[in-house]
C-alpha cells in the first residue's frame, strides 16, 4: 500500500528549534509520510530520533528536495534567502522561520489561530513564520482584536536566552555556574561582569543576575531589529497596516519562554470581564488570571507547553478603551517550532487526497 | 567647642536599606553631629559601623528620640505608622521610607531633584520618601516633564529581589545555588519549581530562571499595590493629579537595581535629540545611550551607584509626542537610602545655624 501522506523536510534539524521540532513531530498527529532531516554538511550523517525512529541527517543540497511536498526551514536569514527559493522552485511549499521573507508582500505571515486562510495565498511557494517575540503575544492580541478592534499597542518584553539559540542557553548556564554560591555578588558596580568575564556569548552584557535591554541588531533611530519586528509583523498578521505599535525588548535570565507586558488600546470600550470572556474560549490560549490565588503565568510554569498563557488582565484606570496584560509563550514551541508545524499541518491537509 | 551640627537617628539600621544607609552616611559630606542607630529590641546592643566608628544599636523607644533633630525611618508600614508620630511629637523631623504616610495630603512626598521645595511644607513633621520603583524612574521623568509637560506614562518594571529586603536577596541566592549546574533546567514545565522546592521566600513563585509578574499586595480590580504606588506617587511628586499612568510590575532574578521601560507622552512634540539634551544636564541622571557602541544601562553596571541611568531613548514611531526609554536605578540607594539621606541633608542645611 502506498503512503499517500505528504513528505516533509526539516531544514535545520540540529539546532535549538530543530530539536523541539523533532519532539513536536513525534507527539502531534502523524500527518506526514516520509520525514527528511536536513542540516549543514557539518551535521550530515548524524542519526537523530523523530517519531521514535533513527533518521540520518542529510546535507542541504538542491537534490535533497526531490519528492518533498513541504519543507520547514529553521536556519539563519541568509541560508533561508538562498535555499527557500531553491526548494520552492522544485515544487516544495516552504514554511520559513527566518526573517528573510516575513515582510515580503508576496509571502504570507501566518499564525493559524489568527489568519489561517492566508496560507493559500503563496505566489512564491513560501509562507513565513513570525518572530518568536511576536508569536509570544499575537494569539492573545488576535483574539482580542477580532472582538474589540485593536488600535494601539505598547509592549515590553522579558525575552529568554534560548531566543539566541543553543549558544544563548549554554551562555546562561555557564554564567549561572560562575555566579552561584557568591552571596556578595550583585551589590557592587561591575562585580557580576568581573566574575562572568569577557565571554558573553551572543549577548552584549552579562545575562545572569542582570537584564539586558537589547535583542537583535541596530536599526535606524536607536531601534533594535527585534522591536521593529514586533511592530511590522503585528501589523501584517492582524492586517492593520496603520496600527500604532511601540515595543522595548529586554533579555532576562530565563532559559526558555518569552514574557511580554502589553498596554493594548481598542476601538470599543473594554472591561476585564469581557477580556476574560473572549480569552477563556480563544483557541491556543490559557487564561490564568486569579492573583488572589497566586495565579498568573510565569516562564517556569509555561515552558514546554503549547498555548500562550495570559494573566494580570486589568482595565487601564485612566482609559476605558485600554487593557494591561501579561503573556507568556514558549519561544521554541509556539514561538518557533510549533507554529511552523501548525502551518505545515494546514498544508498537509490541503495536499493529502481526501 | 560644641558641635552645632544636628543629631540624626537612623531607625531600622540593621535591614538591607539600613546597611546601605550606613554606607551612604559614611561616604557623603559629614553634615551630622551625633548619629544614633535604632532598631527593634532583637537587634539592640549590636555594634555597627558608621562613619568609621562602632556605634551601639539602641532599642526603639520614645525616649531614644530625645535630642534628635532628624530621624530617617526604614521599617515596615505599621512600625512607621506607630512611631513616626511619636518622634514628630518630640520635635524630630521624620523622613519616612515606608508606605504609611506617602499619600497623606499633609505629608510631602519628596525627590530632591524634582520637588525639593516641598520639604518645608510639613505640618505633621513628617516627610515621605517614595517607593523604590517610583524612585527608579521619577528623576528622569521629572526632568523631561519640566521641559516638555508629561501627560501619560505606561511603565513596565524589572524589579530586583532586594526590593523584598534581605529575605529577597537570600532567597534569590539560595535558589541560584539550587539551579546552577543543571543544564537541563528551564525546558520542561515545572522543572524549576521542583528543584527549588516550596521555600519561595517573600515571592509568590520561583525567581531564579524565572520572572514573576507580581510585587506587593492585591488591591481592587487585579492591581498590585506596587503598580498603584507608581501611579499615585508619580502624580503626587510631579503635582499632576490627573496624569494618566498604567504600570505592570514584574520581579526579575537580579539582586539589586530596578529597571523600568517607559512609554511617556508629552504636551509638546519631542525628538530623541531634545530628550538627550535635557537628560545630559539633568542632576542625578546619567545618560548612557549609544547602542552602536553597546552602551545602555543594565543593573549589573548601575548597582552601587547613586544616579538614575537612562538609555534606549527613541521617539515613538507613531506619535511625535511620545518617547520610549529604559531606566535603571539602585533600589537600595536612590530607591531608598540615598533619597532619604538627600532629604535629611536638606533638613540639616535648614537646621544648622549659618
C-alpha A58/C-alpha B215 separation (Å) is 50
pLDDT at B178: 96
Judged against a pLDDT cut of 90, whether residue A352 lies above it is answered with no
The total of other beta-carbon atoms located within 10 Å of residue B220's CB is: 8
CATH code of the domain made up of B8-129+336-351 = 3.40.50.720
User: Which residue of chain B comes nearest to A271, CA vs CA?
Assistant: B221
CB contact under 8 Å between B245 and A317, yes or no, is yes
Mean pLDDT, residues B174-203: 93
CATH code of the domain made up of A133-165+203-330 = 3.30.360.10
Mean pLDDT, residues A209-224: 97
Which of B210, B221, B255 is opposite residue A299, by nearest beta carbon?
B210
Whether A15 has a binding-site annotation, put simply, is: yes
Q: Give the tens place of pLDDT for each residue, B259-272.
A: 999 999 999 999 99
Mean pLDDT, residues B277-281: 97
| Residue-averaged pLDDT of chain A | 95
Sequence spans of domains, chain A: 8-130+336-351, 133-165+203-330
CB contact under 8 Å between B301 and A193, yes or no, is yes
Confidence class for position B2, pLDDT limits 50, 70, 90: low
pLDDT at B92: 97
- Rg of chain A in Å (alpha carbons): 21
Judged against a pLDDT cut of 70, whether residue B1 lies above it is answered with no
Q: Which are the catalytic amino acids of A?
A: 132, 258
Domain B133-165+204-330 matching CATH 3.30.360.10: the answer reads yes
Mean pLDDT, residues B76-103: 97
CB contact under 8 Å between A253 and B209, yes or no, is yes
Beta strands of chain B (E only): which ranges? 8-11, 35-39, 47-50, 53-56, 58-59, 70-73, 93-96, 126-128, 150-158, 244-248, 258-266, 285-287, 308-315, 322-329
User: Which residue of chain A comes nearest to B295, CA vs CA?
Assistant: A204
Sign of the alpha-carbon dihedral angle for B258, B262, B267, B272: positive
Domain A8-130+336-351 matching CATH 3.40.50.720: the answer reads yes
- A177 CB neighbours in chain B (<8 A) are 180-181
Indicate the range of A132-141, A277-286, B10-19, B306-315 predicted with least confidence: B10-19
- Say how many CA atoms lie within 13 Å of B186 toward its Cβ: 31
- A229 CB neighbours in chain B (<8 A) are none
pLDDT at A3: 78
Q: Give the tens place of pLDDT for each residue, A179-189.
A: 999 998 998 99
CB contact under 8 Å between B248 and A326, yes or no, is yes
Task: Return all residues near B343 (Cβ < 8 A) that are at least 6 apart.
Answer: B95, B110, B112, B119, B127, B129
Strand partners, B54: B49
Q: List, in sequence order, the alpha helices (H) in B28-153.
A: 77-89, 112-115, 132-148
Mean pLDDT, residues A80-100: 97
Judged against a pLDDT cut of 60, whether residue B223 lies above it is answered with yes
Q: Give the tens place of pLDDT for each residue, B317-343.
A: 999 999 999 999 999 999 899 999 999
C-alpha B181/C-alpha B7 separation (Å) is 50
Instruction: Provide the percentage of residues in chain A whose pLDDT is more than 90.
Output: 92
Confidence class for position A256, pLDDT limits 50, 70, 90: very high
Judged against a pLDDT cut of 70, whether residue A77 lies above it is answered with yes
CB A52 within 8 A of CB A30: no
Mean pLDDT, residues B197-212: 96
pLDDT at A2: 67
CB B168 within 8 A of CB B201: yes
Q: How many residues does chain B have?
A: 354
What is the least distance, in Å, from the CA of B65 to any CA of chain A?
32
Which of B292, B300, B312 is opposite residue A206, by nearest beta carbon?
B300
CB contact under 8 Å between B189 and A259, yes or no, is no
- A244 CB neighbours in chain B (<8 A) are 316, 318-319
Q: Give the tens place of pLDDT for each residue, B151-179.
A: 999 999 999 999 999 999 999 999 999 99
Whether A102 has a binding-site annotation, put simply, is: yes
Mutate to test the interface with A, among B27, B152, B156, B320 (most CBs of A within 10 A): B156
Judged against a pLDDT cut of 70, whether residue A1 lies above it is answered with no
Whether B18 has a binding-site annotation, put simply, is: no
How many secondary structure helices (H) and strands (E) does chain B include? 10, 14
pLDDT at A4: 86
Amino acid at each position: 500500500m502506498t503512503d499517500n501522506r505528504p513528505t516533509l523536510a526539516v531544514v535545520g534539524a540540529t539546532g535549538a528549534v530543530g530539536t523541539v521540532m523533532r519532539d513536536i513531530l513525534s507527539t502531534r498527529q502523524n500527518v506526514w509520510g516520509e520525514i527528511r532531516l536536513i542540516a549543514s554538511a557539518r551535521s550530515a550523517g548524524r542519526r537523530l530520533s523523530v517519531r521514535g525512529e533513527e533518521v540520518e541527517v542529510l546535507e542541504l543540497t538542491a537534490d535533497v528536495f526531490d519528492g518533498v511536498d513541504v519543507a520547514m526551514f529553521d536556519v539563519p536569514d541568509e541560508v533561508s534567502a538562498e535555499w527557500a527559493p531553491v526548494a520552492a522552485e522544485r515544487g516544495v511549499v516552504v514554511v520559513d522561520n527566518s526573517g528573510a521573507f516575513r515582510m515580503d508582500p508576496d509571502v504570507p505571515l501566518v499564525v493559524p489561530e489568527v489568519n489561517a486562510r492566508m496560507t493559500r495565498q503563496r505566489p512564491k511557494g513560501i509562507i513565513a513564520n513570525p518572530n518568536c517575540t511576536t508569536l509570544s503575544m499575537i494569539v492573545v492580541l488576535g483574539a482580542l482584536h477580532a472582538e474589540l478592534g485593536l488600535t494601539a499597542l505598547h509592549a515590553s518584553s522579558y525575552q529568554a536566552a534560548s531566543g539566541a539559540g543553543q549558544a544563548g542557553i549554554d551562555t546562561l548556564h555557564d554564567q549561572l555556574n560562575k555566579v552561584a554560591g557568591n552571596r556578595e555578588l550583585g551589590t557592587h558596580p561591575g562585580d557580576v561582569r568581573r566574575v562572568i568575564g569577557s565571554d558573553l556569548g551572543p549577548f552584549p552584557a552579562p545575562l545572569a543576575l542582570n537584564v539586558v535591554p537589547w535583542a537583535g541588531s541596530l536599526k535606524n533611530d536607536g531601534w533594535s531589529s527585534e522591536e521593529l519586528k514586533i511592530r511590522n509583523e503585528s501589523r501584517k498578521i492582524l492586517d492593520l497596516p496603520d496600527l500604532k505599535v511601540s515595543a522595548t525588548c529586554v533579555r532576562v535570565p530565563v532559559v526558555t519562554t518569552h514574557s511580554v507586558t502589553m498596554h493594548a488600546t481598542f476601538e470599543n470600550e473594554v472591561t476585564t470581564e469581557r477580556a476574560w470572556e473572549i480569552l477563556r474560549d480563544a483557541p491556543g490560549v490559557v487564561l490564568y488570571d486569579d492573583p488572589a490565588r497566586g495565579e498568573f503565568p510565569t516562564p517556569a510554569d509555561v515552558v514546554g507547553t503549547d498555548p500562550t498563557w495570559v494573566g494580570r488582565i486589568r482595565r487601564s484606570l485612566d482609559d476605558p478603551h485600554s487593557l494591561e496584560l501579561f503573556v507568556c509563550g514558549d519561544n521554541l514551541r509556539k514561538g518557533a517550532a510549533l507554529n511552523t508545524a501548525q502551518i505545515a499541518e494546514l498544508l498537509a491537509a490541503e495536499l493529502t487526497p481526501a
